[in-house]
């Protein structure tokens, strides 16, 4: 057991992304892996606008805590599937938060029409970095492509989270959760994507 | 086998609150389910309709919430356990049935699941539906977690059957859409036979029967009061001179607050699961040796009033608080930090709320009609013909997103069906053209009566029915007029055209909005008919592409592209149509240009009909597909 595991009390993970990025599936997999590991877990999702390009937010709370939602200033980890949304989630963070963010932008319509400008990625993640303990940047598109499909970017992100070891969940439990929840035809590519992310998370 | 039908044997699964309700209902031998979908309740009827056949359950997507309650109560009156579910405002629609069903009661258990939506995540208001239980005089249970949702659904069925009255299971978004571990209980073995015993002097509510039933209801309430007093769903935790009374998701925030504020041994908590009739004696005993009590609940001071009344009646000197500045906010959802703030302020203990960083100024990301959505095409053409001066009452569905720029095609909305009726009112007082929008599912839900009203009173407006062949907003559920089903194309059971003609509409036409010129021609014609009083109707018919592609596995054959050499940057495509596949971009040479994102374009061709610089482009086999 590592030190982190011995002192593990509770972990609040906030997920944010854009409709269509598979954030809810990733959220579910974290919950399933935690349950597999025998940890107390609660999750919360906001459905509704996911298909129509809006922001999708969800949360997983593991350990000795009851509230299924995460208030401002309470997230221990933020998993941002899009860099603009990483910056938007800053109010969820505290100074010790670990932010794992994709560096691949999904341009909102307000930007596409010229009503607003998409900030530089460095500025977005810089604003986050100046406030929180650490930011892991993930080029999800490249890594997912290497793994076999850009659509598996969500599993790369999940792999990075698993690789950091912040959540006391064994590889066996992660594997079991993937096996049970992912549809058969995407198992292989998603496992590869998870492994790619895991290796990255481990190295950091 | 459907996951929710697996045998018990201590099986534990992570379930959505809504799935836990389904599991609890199956364990409680529910055999009849009816609902109109509405966030955050929709997954209940969606799961039931998936497993109905296998489980021997009848499940229907009813035409609206009132109808769902009526069909479900008929089953329960005939000895078959039933369930209907709805979002909070759905109970407004069903209220007429609900209030008197409380009088007539049921023979077998009947649960009415009502899902409130604090913070209006996907609703038009945040009304507190617990008052409905009190107004009607029916029992109400309030779960905090998916596990409790499963258990309380079964318990609600038993309670309902024992006292012969429907029982409300009141949830909030954070219960419906929370996922947590749920332990499966045992499944029942067989369905009871349905029997209807004629008993008109208890089942037909004429005044003399109603008077008798009114007294019987009051009597039932007394017995239910007793049930609540002895229910294990109401329990106390901890000890101390101070108290907190709470229920639902708020209980979870309270638990975290007691721990984090180190209030163990100083604060005891009364968690109420059976919240109407609220357990007066339990509350009184809880408070009897307390100095002060804080009531922590979302929305209105429902429990707070109960606690204050109880304290007053019992003559207890306890200080009661709840809603108020520095205490529990009345609007929107609670969270652990808000509850800690309220508890620390009320009990005067130290608490340093977390520092909250402000996000930098960022471009917003509002939800939008999908690329290729036929609603956008309809709005585009209507605006071309009627312009900005017309008044556009609208309704509830994906198309409500037409309120956003650049379309801005929504002027008034209060509830399901209001688009049609308010159009009539506007037309009587305003000297402007009035064009109302309503979706096909919403039209069946509550648009028909408004249309009949408009016709019978010579209201002068154009009604545009946005017929995309599904209930798209809540997840593509069916409605009476659908043609496209998972089993293939069918003749619609109820034809929209025939209903509209049957209501007495004289000028009606059907168009495919993806054919822009034709649509505008027909709109011009209909505009001319509006010189005479009366309602004209345009059925703007084209399937929701998201739904169609999923059902038919359709793949795109073409996408569209902008020919940069002839594009004069007029921006009409962006500013008039506003398809999200377009973007303002920079060309290789560094010039400003307009591009179409190939991955987003659905190939609907509408933009190409309004601009000559936009052209089709074949896409390679196997690529594309609108997944
Ligand atoms: S889901 Fe269908 S109806 Fe709704 S916005 Fe998308 S395309 Fe339009
Ligand atoms: S064809 Fe034009 S309007 Fe239709 S989805 Fe593609 S870019 Fe949008």
pLDDT at A50: 57
Per-residue pLDDT reduced to its tens digit, A162-194: 999 999 999 999 999 999 999 999 999 999 999
Closest residue in chain A to residue B338, using alpha carbons only: A71
pLDDT-based confidence at B236, cuts 50/70/90? very high
Q: B374-551 architecture in CATH?
A: 3-Layer(aba) Sandwich (3.40)
What residues of chain B, 486 to 545, have a C-beta less than 8 Å from chain A? none
> Given B177, B546, B584, which is nearest A47 (Cβ)?
B177
The C-alpha torsion from B369 through B371 and B374 to B376, rounded to 10°, is 50
Per-residue buried b or exposed e for A138-158, using 16+ beta carbons within 10 Å of the residue's own CB: bebeebbeebbbbbbbbbbbb
Q: Which residue has the least CA distance to atom 3 on ligand 2?
A: B607
Q: Cα(B492) to centroid of ligand 1, in Å? A: 21
- The packing angle between helices A23-36 and A153-164, to 10°, is 40
Contact A72 B356 (CB under 8 A): yes
pLDDT at A23: 94
pLDDT-based confidence at A47, cuts 50/70/90? low
Q: Assess contact for B69 and B101: CB atoms under 8 A.
A: yes
- 3-class secondary-structure state, position B170: strand
pLDDT-based confidence at B623, cuts 50/70/90? very low
In chain B, residues with a C-beta closer than 8 Å to the C-beta of A109 are 365-366, 368, 578, 580
Q: Where are the alpha helices (DSSP H) in B356-436?
A: 374-386, 418-429
Q: Which residue has the least CA distance to atom 5 on ligand 1?
A: B369
Per-residue pLDDT reduced to its tens digit, B404-441: 989 999 999 999 999 999 999 999 999 999 999 999 99
- Return the structure tokens found at B308: 């204050």
Per-residue pLDDT reduced to its tens digit, A145-163: 999 999 999 999 999 999 9
Q: Does pLDDT of A51 surpass 70?
A: no
Specify the higher pLDDT residue, B183 or B584: B183
Q: Distance (Å, rounded) from C-alpha B280 to C-alpha A151? A: 56
Burial (Cβ within 10 Å: 0-12, 13-18, ≥19) of residue A61 = buried
Q: Which run of H or of E encompasses B61?
A: strand B58-61
Per-residue pLDDT reduced to its tens digit, B427-482: 999 999 999 999 999 999 999 999 999 999 999 999 999 999 999 999 999 999 99
CATH number of B3-229: 3.40.50.970
pLDDT at B621: 45
Tell me the average pLDDT across A46-57: 76
One fold for both B3-229 and B374-551?
Answer: yes
Tell me the average pLDDT across B320-345: 97
Burial (Cβ within 10 Å: 0-12, 13-18, ≥19) of residue A73 = middle
Q: Distance (Å, rounded) from C-alpha A112 to C-alpha A115? A: 8
Per-residue pLDDT reduced to its tens digit, B531-577: 999 999 999 999 999 999 989 888 888 999 999 999 999 988 988 99
Q: Assess contact for B178 and A44: CB atoms under 8 A.
A: yes
Among B569, B555, B525, B568, CA closest to B626:
B555
Q: What is the mean pLDDT of chain B?
A: 96
Per-residue pLDDT reduced to its tens digit, B571-584: 889 889 999 999 88
Give percent of chain B with pLDDT exceeding 90.
92
pLDDT at B28: 98
Residue B375 beta carbon below 6 angstroms from any ligand 1 atom: yes
- Return the structure tokens found at A178: 């993937």
Q: Does pLDDT of B303 surpass 70?
A: yes
Query: For B285-348, where are the E strands, in sequence order?
Result: 292-296, 319-321
Q: Distance (Å, rounded) from C-alpha A162 to C-alpha A157? A: 9
pLDDT at B556: 87
Q: Does pLDDT of B591 surpass 90?
A: no
In chain A, residues with a C-beta closer than 8 Å to the C-beta of B359 are 87-91, 127
pLDDT at B620: 63
pLDDT at A115: 85
Q: Where are the alpha helices (DSSP H) in B146-206?
A: 146-163, 173-176, 200-203
Per-residue pLDDT reduced to its tens digit, B258-281: 999 999 999 999 999 999 999 999
Query: Which residues does B300 contact at the CB level (< 8 Å), separation at least 6?
Result: B128, B130, B131, B323, B330
Q: Which residue has the least CA distance to atom 6 on ligand 2?
A: B601
Stretch among A91-95, B30-34, B75-79, B596-600 having the lowest mean pLDDT: B596-600
Q: A11-203 architecture in CATH?
A: 3-Layer(aba) Sandwich (3.40)
Residue B514 beta carbon below 6 angstroms from any ligand 1 atom: no
- Kindly list the domain boundaries of chain B, sorted by start residue: 3-229, 235-347, 374-551, 556-618
Per-residue pLDDT reduced to its tens digit, A119-132: 999 999 999 999 99
In chain B, residues with a C-beta closer than 8 Å to the C-beta of A53 are 365, 367-368, 370, 580
pLDDT-based confidence at A3, cuts 50/70/90? very low
Closest residue in chain B to residue A108, using alpha carbons only: B365
Q: Does pLDDT of A4 surpass 90?
A: no
Tell me the average pLDDT across B62-75: 98
- Return the structure tokens found at B67: 């109808």
- Kindly list the domain boundaries of chain A, sorted by start residue: 11-203
Q: B235-347 architecture in CATH?
A: 3-Layer(aba) Sandwich (3.40)
The C-alpha torsion from A111 through A117 and A122 to A124, rounded to 10°, is -70
Q: Assess contact for A101 and A83: CB atoms under 8 A.
A: yes
């Amino acid at each position: 057991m590592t030190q982190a595991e011995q002192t593990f009390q509770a972990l609040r993970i906030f997920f944010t992304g854009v409709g269509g990025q598979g954030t809810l599936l990733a959220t579910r997999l974290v919950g399933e892996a935690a349950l597999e590991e025998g940890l107390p877990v609660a999750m919360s999702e906001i459905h509704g606008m996911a298909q129509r390009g809006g922001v999708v937010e969800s949360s997983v709370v593991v350990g000795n805590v009851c509230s299924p939602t995460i208030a401002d200033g309470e997230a221990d980890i933020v998993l941002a599937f899009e860099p603009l949304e990483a910056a938007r989630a800053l109010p969820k963070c505290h100074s010790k938060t670990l932010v794992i963010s994709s560096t691949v932008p999904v341009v909102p319509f307000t930007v596409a029409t010229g009503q607003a400008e998409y900030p530089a990625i460095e500025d977005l993640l810089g604003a986050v970095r100046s406030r929180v303990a650490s930011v892991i940047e993930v080029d999800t598109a490249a890594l997912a492509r290497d793994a076999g499909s850009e659509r598996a970017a969500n599993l790369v992100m999940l792999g990075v989270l698993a690789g950091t070891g912040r959540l006391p969940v064994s590889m066996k439990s992660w594997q079991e959760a993937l096996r049970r929840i992912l549809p058969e035809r995407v198992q292989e590519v998603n496992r590869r994507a998870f492994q790619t992310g895991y290796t990255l998370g481990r190295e950091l | 086998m459907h996951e929710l039908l697996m045998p018990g044997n201590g099986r534990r699964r992570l379930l959505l609150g809504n799935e836990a309700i389904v599991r609890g209902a199956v364990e409680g031998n529910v055999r009849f389910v009816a609902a109109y979908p509405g966030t955050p309740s929709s997954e209940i009827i969606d799961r039931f309709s998936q497993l109905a056949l296998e489980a021997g359950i009848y499940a229907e997507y009813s035409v609206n919430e009132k109808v769902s309650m009526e069909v479900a109560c008929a089953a329960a009156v005939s000895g078959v356990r039933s369930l209907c579910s709805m979002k909070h405002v759905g109970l407004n629609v069903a209220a007429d049935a609900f209030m008197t069903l409380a009088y007539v009661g049921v023979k077998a258990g009947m649960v009415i699941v009502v899902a409130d939506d604090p913070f209006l995540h996907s609703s038009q208001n945040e009304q507190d539906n617990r008052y409905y239980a009190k107004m009607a005089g029916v029992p109400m249970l309030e779960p905090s977690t998916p596990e409790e949702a499963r258990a309380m659904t079964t318990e609600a069925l038993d309670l309902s059957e024992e006292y012969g009255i429907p029982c409300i299971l009141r949830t909030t978004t954070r219960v419906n859409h929370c996922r947590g571990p749920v332990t499966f209980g045992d499944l029942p073995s067989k369905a009871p036979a349905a029997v209807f015993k004629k008993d008109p002097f208890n089942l037909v509510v004429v005044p003399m029967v109603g008077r008798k039933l009114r007294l019987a209801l009051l009597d039932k309430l007394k017995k239910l009061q007793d049930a609540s007093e002895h229910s294990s769903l109401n329990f106390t935790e901890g000890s101390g001179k101070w108290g907190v009374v709470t229920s639902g998701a708020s209980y979870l925030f309270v638990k975290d607050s007691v721990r984090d504020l180190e209030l163990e041994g100083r604060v005891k908590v009364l968690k109420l699961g059976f919240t109407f009739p609220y357990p007066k004696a339990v509350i009184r005993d809880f408070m009897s040796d307390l100095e002060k009590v804080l009531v922590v609940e979302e929305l209105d001071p429902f429990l707070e009033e109960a606690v204050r009344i109880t304290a007053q009646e019992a003559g207890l000197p306890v200080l009661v608080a709840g809603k108020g500045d520095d205490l529990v906010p009345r609007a929107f959802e609670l969270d652990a930090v808000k509850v800690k703030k309220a508890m620390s302020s009320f009990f005067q203990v130290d608490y340093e709320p977390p520092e909250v960083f402000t996000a930098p100024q960022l471009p917003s990301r509002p939800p939008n009609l999908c690329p290729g959505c036929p609603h956008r095409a309809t709005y585009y053409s209507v605006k071309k013909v009627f312009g900005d001066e017309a008044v556009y009452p609208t309704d509830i569905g994906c198309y409500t997103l037409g309120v956003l720029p650049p379309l801005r095609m929504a002027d008034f909305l209060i509830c399901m069906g209001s688009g049609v009726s308010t159009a009539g009112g506007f037309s009587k007082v305003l000297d402007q053209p009035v064009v109302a929008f309503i979706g096909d599912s919403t039209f069946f839900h509550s648009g028909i009566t408004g249309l009949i009203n408009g016709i019978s009173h010579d209201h002068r407006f154009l009604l545009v029915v946005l017929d995309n062949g599904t209930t798209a907003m809540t997840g593509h559920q069916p409605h009476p007029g659908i043609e496209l089903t998972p089993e293939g194309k069918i003749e619609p059971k109820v034809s929209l055209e025939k209903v509209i003609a049957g209501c007495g509409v004289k000028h009606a036409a059907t168009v495919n909005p993806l054919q822009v010129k034709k649509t505008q021609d027909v709109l011009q014609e209909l505009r001319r008919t509006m010189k005479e009083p009366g309602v004209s109707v345009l059925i703007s018919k084209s399937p929701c592409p998201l739904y169609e592609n999923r059902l038919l596995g359709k793949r795109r054959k073409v996408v569209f592209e902008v020919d940069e050499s002839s594009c004069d940057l007029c921006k009409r495509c962006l500013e008039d149509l506003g398809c999200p596949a377009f973007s303002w971009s920079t060309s290789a040479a560094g010039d400003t240009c307009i591009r179409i994102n190939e991955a987003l374009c659905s190939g609907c061709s509408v933009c190409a009909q309004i601009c000559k610089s936009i052209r089709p482009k074949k896409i390679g086999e196997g690529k594309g597909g609108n997944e």
